[in-house]
């Protein structure tokens, strides 16, 4: 991998979620913000190359925080986030193209004061410049 698709992917994820979520979306949660909200967390890329193309397998994780004591709000926000990302391919820069995406994992943690959902997406991205 001569360069990384992480920044273009994070930008596309942020823009897609921000335009389609009913809760605020952050890449860093400002102090004092009340839940519910969605935050982009970890992103990792592993490069690969064939004889004709190269690209990366990228995992990107979002967290959804809800102060609602049941699972209803966090579940609805997760469904909406998954649908927003999976409904149609993300558009990256001219140098990168998402060719496959899916939900790699999804979990909800029931904490004493809130619910915290973690959704990890897996993307296969090709480098259209190489």
**pLDDT tens sequence across 84-124:** 999 999 999 889 999 999 999 999 999 999 999 999 999 99
The residues spanned by each domain of the chain are 6-127
**pLDDT tens sequence across 47-75:** 999 999 999 999 999 999 999 988 999 99
Distance CA 104, CA 111 (A): 23
Enumerate residues 6+ apart whose C-beta is below 8 A from 129.
Answer: 94, 95
Under a CB-based contact definition with an 8 Å cutoff, are residues 65 and 39 in contact? yes
CA distances from 95 to 11, 22, 43, 69 (A): 14, 31, 19, 44
Enumerate residues 6+ apart whose C-beta is below 8 A from 76.
Answer: none
CATH number of the 6-127 domain: 3.30.2000.30
């Amino acid at each position: 991998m001569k360069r990384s698709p992480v920044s273009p992917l994070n930008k596309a994820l942020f823009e897609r979620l921000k335009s389609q979520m009913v809760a605020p979306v952050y890449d860093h949660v400002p102090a004092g913000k009340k839940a519910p909200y969605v935050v982009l967390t970890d992103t990792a890329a592993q490069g690969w190359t064939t004889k004709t193309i190269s690209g990366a397998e990228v995992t990107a994780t979002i967290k959804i925080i809800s102060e609602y004591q049941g699972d209803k709000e966090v579940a609805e926000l997760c469904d909406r986030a998954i649908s927003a990302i999976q409904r149609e391919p993300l558009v990256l820069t001219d140098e990168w193209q998402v060719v496959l995406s899916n939900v790699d994992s999804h979990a909800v943690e029931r904490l004493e004061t809130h619910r915290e959902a973690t959704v990890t997406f897996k993307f296969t991205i090709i480098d259209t410049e190489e």
